[in-house]
Structure 1
Amino acid sequence: MLFGFSDDQLAIQRKYLAIGEEIADAAAASPEGFDFDGWRRLRDEGLWRLIVPTGALDADWWTFTAALDGLSSSIRTPELLLSVIAQAGMVRALERHGNPAQKDRYLDAILRGDVSATCIAEPTTGTDVRSIETSLTEVPGGYRLNGTKFNIAHAPIMDFALVVCRLHGKEQCNIELALLDRKTAGLSIGQVDDKLGNRNLPTGEIHFHDVEVPHERVLGKPGHGLSTLIDIISLGRLYYGLVAANLIRPYLVDAMNYAATRTSFKSQIDSHQYVQRRLVDLRIGMERSRWLAYGALSQLLTDHPEGLMMSSIAKLVGAEDLIANATNLMKLYGSLGYHNGRVAELMKNALGFASVGGTEEMHRKNIFNQMKRLAG
């Protein structure tokens, strides 16, 4: 396990900390919507070159993590971070499971700054992959894809997508993953979802009507789509935990300054034990989630038997700590926290972590299943 970043990684961390501050300042003056300027800035700074293998250079996930650590510690809102995590998951999918043609086509697209989407959830089944109804039917020369995905991050703006589907007529080992371009005939995009928070991360529906899918567009080994998908999304789960931890960092700095200058009962409120406890709990939650995410990443990258379970735990704990920390901040600021502003926005965005990357119930079920697997 990594207990500290190298000097080079610390330099990357500081670099992206500064970039995050600049992106946050620029986004504050921009209209609502996906931050294409921030996205292109990250591309131009070389974020994707840290994990897209080129020539003799392999993916450097720990250096990428240092960059994400710095970025998420200063950017204040999670939408662009969630987009980065989704794109990182696509890189992992192609790196580990893509054929040479898929890698050439889509890793190059990622380096250009194209936006990907991973399509799992459906209107009637949510993220229960084993129950999905989007079907892949074998026909001469390939497959036909039919169905609907909903609440898909990047659906309204995506350039290409990885679609989770069920192979028609097969009872077992029937989950497949198909790579599709936005302009594929029969693929259509629904309206942008109207959400409580995380409004700069566009989500929506994608519909498939007799979409032609060549055999070479199926990712990974035929019949192994479920295990391939779990391998892909586990990385995102632990990164959700890391981002959830670091989002609080600039708010904690603000809160410490506020408590040191706000007077109540003729003294600064940071002299009151209940205020001290709120501030301490913020730091405990932040550190707990951050180090849990690091541990899960270490296990996942080394194919540790507990890696999948720890990735779910990291996501679950990170979401719980973020929501609790946002609530604590609102209470600390009193009526000021309830006014529309940064703290109220954090609260709305934090609540999204209860479902992004899977609900609490789904992750607890996954953790229990992993416990049974490990015990067996």
Structure 2
Amino acid sequence: MTVTELAGAALLDEVVRLTRDELRPSADAAEEAKEFPRELVRRLCELGLVRLGLPESRSGLVFCRAIETLASGWLAVAESVHLQVLAAVGPARFGGTHVRDDVLPTMLSGAVIGGNCFSEPNAGSDLSHLETTAVLDGDRYRLNGEKSWVGHANVGGVFNVYCRTAGGGLGGITCLLVDADSPGLSVHRPVRKMGVRALPTATITFTDVLVPRDRVIGRPNRGMLVASDVFVQGRIGLAACAVGLAQGALEYAVAYAKKRIQFGQPVIQFQGVSFLLADMATQIQAARQLLHYAVTRRDAGHDVSVEAAQAKLFSTDVAMRVTTDAVQVLGAYGYTQDSPAERWMREAKLLQIIEGTNQIQRAAIAARL
């Protein structure tokens, strides 16, 4: 093994240990209490997961395996690490000296939680219709507007805010890195989500927020170049979350089917159950291979816009099917909150919606055919 492979193996071993000993035992109670696992996320960032997730690290396969493992134990933690990577993608590749030297290290270590502000109440995720504006005022931008569905909103320290600085359409968009404690920045109460409740999502309002010019990520009016990198990474990271969530549901369903006795034998011996589990395992493996193919190509320097969209689309649909089938295998028990299966099914639905709905992924793939 190379030094990198040894480091990756050791990191994955630690992720497996943390998932087994800390994530799984904590998930149900924290989700019910809507408690963000701040310390766990910080420790995972300190392991180097955020740095591994950045495209330039060329370590995407190790990162995906780590996220899969985390998601098999607690999706909110995996999704939080994934969001931290997305917040760091722009500053790492396009940030100026101040951002790379002073801000980025705090994001990589987890000392500061980051987030991205894309969606708006009227525009949704259609960046061509952004209404949030930033006007240059001397050596600072004056930022006004409202962003919705911001992950990490209530715990974040910095946010990449995509706003209009000129023109219309996809041109004239600029990405600004804004401190959460900036005067005029207001975070609303967390959205009451159906699943992943431990990970806060909220609306953020900007009222005459002053942002220094050295906090521009990339070039003024060229924010879509930054967003494009974030979108590809977002699809890859979310696909890894979906594969891990589905794997956790499969393992739980198999363990239950082996010990649940009906008509004098374990239910896994009934063809109706065993074939269902076989299909679940096959779908997960197909999703995993599609994801790993995409990330391996990206690590080799290829454009994987289509492959990332395919991985996100297929993996999240698989997660929805597998978690639904896991509830079916568990029967009435699976429909109760005494089993984690019903929570997994609620969480899987979210993955089909965020980072671009699966209908948007299909449209993106079709456009490239």
* Fold match (TM-score > 0.5): yes
The residue correspondences of 1:233-272 to structure 2 (distance < 5 A) are: 233-272=231-270
Letter in 2 for 1:246: G
Question: How far apart in 2 are the matches of 1:64 and 1:172?
Answer: 31
Question: How far apart in 2 are the matches of 1:41 and 1:246?
Answer: 20
Aligned partner of residue 205 in structure 1, secondary structure: strand
Aligned partner of residue 335 in structure 1, secondary structure: helix
Aligned partner of residue 199 in structure 2, secondary structure: coil
Structure 2: segments with no counterpart, 5+ residues: none
Which residue does the alignment assign to 1:339? 336
Letter in 1 for 2:163: C
Which residue does the alignment assign to 2:323? 326
- For residues 204-228 of structure 1, give each alpha carbon's deviation from its aligned partner in whole angstroms, at most 9, with x where no partner exists: 0000112222221110123321122
Aligned partner of residue 173 in structure 1, secondary structure: coil
- For residues 342-375 of structure 1, give each alpha carbon's deviation from its aligned partner in whole angstroms, at most 9, with x where no partner exists: 111111111111212121222222222333xxxx
Question: How far apart in 1 are the matches of 2:126 and 2:194?
Answer: 23
Question: How far apart in 2 are the matches of 1:249 and 1:363?
Answer: 23
CA drift of 1:44 comes to: 4.3
CA contact 2:96–2:215 (8 Å) conserved in 1: no
CA drift of 1:92 comes to: 2.3
Question: How far apart in 2 are the matches of 1:358 and 1:308?
Answer: 13
Q: Are 1:34 and 2:36 an aligned pair? A: yes
CA drift of 1:334 comes to: 1.1
Question: How far apart in 2 are the matches of 1:200 and 1:115?
Answer: 15
Report the aligned-residue RMSD.
2.3
CA contact 1:97–1:228 (8 Å) conserved in 2: yes
Identity among equivalent pairs (%): 27
Runs of 4 or more off by more than 6 Å in structure 1? none
CA contact 1:13–1:69 (8 Å) conserved in 2: no
Structure 1: segments with no counterpart, 5+ residues: 372-376
Which residue does the alignment assign to 1:122? 120
- For residues 221-246 of structure 1, give each alpha carbon's deviation from its aligned partner in whole angstroms, at most 9, with x where no partner exists: 23321122111221121111112111
Which residue does the alignment assign to 2:161? 163
Which residue does the alignment assign to 2:193? 195
Letter in 2 for 1:78: L
Equivalenced residue count is 361
Aligned partner of residue 247 in structure 1, secondary structure: helix
CA contact 1:9–1:66 (8 Å) conserved in 2: no
The residue correspondences of 1:1-376 to structure 2 (distance < 5 A) are: 6-24=5-23, 25-30=25-30, 31-48=33-50, 50=52, 60-73=59-72, 75=73, 77-110=74-107, 111-169=109-167, 173-305=171-303, 307-340=304-337, 341-371=339-369
CA drift of 1:322 comes to: 0.4
Calculate the TM-score normalised by the size of structure 2.
0.90
Aligned partner of residue 191 in structure 1, secondary structure: coil
Question: How far apart in 2 are the matches of 1:154 and 1:8?
Answer: 29
- Mean alpha-carbon deviation: is it higher for 157-166 or for 278-287? 278-287
Aligned partner of residue 143 in structure 2, secondary structure: strand
CA contact 1:13–1:71 (8 Å) conserved in 2: no
CA drift of 1:118 comes to: 0.4
Aligned partner of residue 188 in structure 2, secondary structure: strand
Aligned partner of residue 200 in structure 1, secondary structure: coil
Aligned partner of residue 273 in structure 2, secondary structure: helix
Distance 1:118 1:286, change over 3 A: same
Aligned partner of residue 334 in structure 1, secondary structure: helix
Question: How far apart in 2 are the matches of 1:170 and 1:126?
Answer: 16
CA drift of 1:191 comes to: 1.1
Question: How far apart in 2 are the matches of 1:33 and 1:369?
Answer: 41
Aligned partner of residue 195 in structure 1, secondary structure: coil
Calculate the TM-score normalised by the size of structure 1.
0.89
